Structure formats: structure tokens, C-alpha cells
Amino acid sequence: MYKNILITTAADKNSNIVKKIEVAKALADDDGQITIISVMERIPPYVAPSLPSDYEETTTQRMQKAISQKIGNHNYKITVLSGHAAHQVLKFAKKNDIDCIIVSSHRPGFQDYFMGSTALTIVRQAECSVTVVR
């Protein structure tokens, strides 16, 4: 069905990455590629000087390790980027010819109706199919 699937995840303990991988496998062509992406927010400029110089690199490695531990020894490409989550996911999807993005969504709270969530932004702005997993 899809050749190039992108799974979004946070490297936290509450991420439902395993469920999203199951959905991706069901939607993927036999030769389909599954990529997992996690985006860490940028460090404010006034905080950056107080952090170690290798903070971003170390954090990226830690996030990749955390994701790898959740998914086991599978041959998925794992990418960690920094910036605004929704914008980075959309930019990555466009640049890498992604034809389906898989996102998680929590039950929206009152603030989501005014500010919007990452998943909602991706659903509204993606140029490809988006599957939402709860």
C-alpha cells in the first residue's frame, strides 16, 4: 500500500511506538521502508551557554538508544532532529518522499482547540496520507 512510511515518536516512556510499528507494517508494501523520527525542541539561546558543548549530540544518541530499546533489533531507520516537532516532521516528509505519516494523538484538551497539537498540525498540513493512532 505505502512505500515510504514515517512514524513519529517521542523518546519518553509513554510513547506507543510498538503499536505504531504494527500499523506501519500492516500498511507497508512488501518492500516498503519504515522510518522513525523524533524531534527534540530547540534549546533557548539564554540556556544554551550553561549546557555542555556536546549536549545536542549526547541527547540525540540517548534518544536513538531509547527508541531502539523499545523496538528491539529491527532494521528501521531512526532519525532525531531538533526544532518545532510538527514543522520538522512535515519538512522531513516532503524532503524524503514520505507517502504516509503515522502519528499519535491524545484526547484533546481545552488548550488544543486554540493552540493546536503536533498531531493536528501534521494532519492539517501534510501533503501525504496521515494515520492517527490512539
For 63-113, the DSSP string reads HHHHHHHHH-S---EEEEEES-HHHHHHHHHHHTT-SEEEEE-PPP-TTHH
pTM for the full predicted model: 0.84
Q: What are the backbone dihedrals phi and psi of residue 94, each rounded to the nearest 5 degrees, phi first? A: -65, -45
Residue in 109, 72, 92 with CA at minimum distance from that of residue 4:
92
User: 134 near 101, Cβ under 8 Å?
Assistant: no
Q: Could you report the average pLDDT of every consecutive run of 10 residues in the chain (134 residues)?
A: 92 73 92 91 84 84 79 79 94 97 78 67 96 90
Q: What confidence score (pLDDT) does residue 109 get? A: 63
Domains in the chain and their CATH numbers? Answer: 9-84 (3.40.50.620), 96-134 (no CATH)
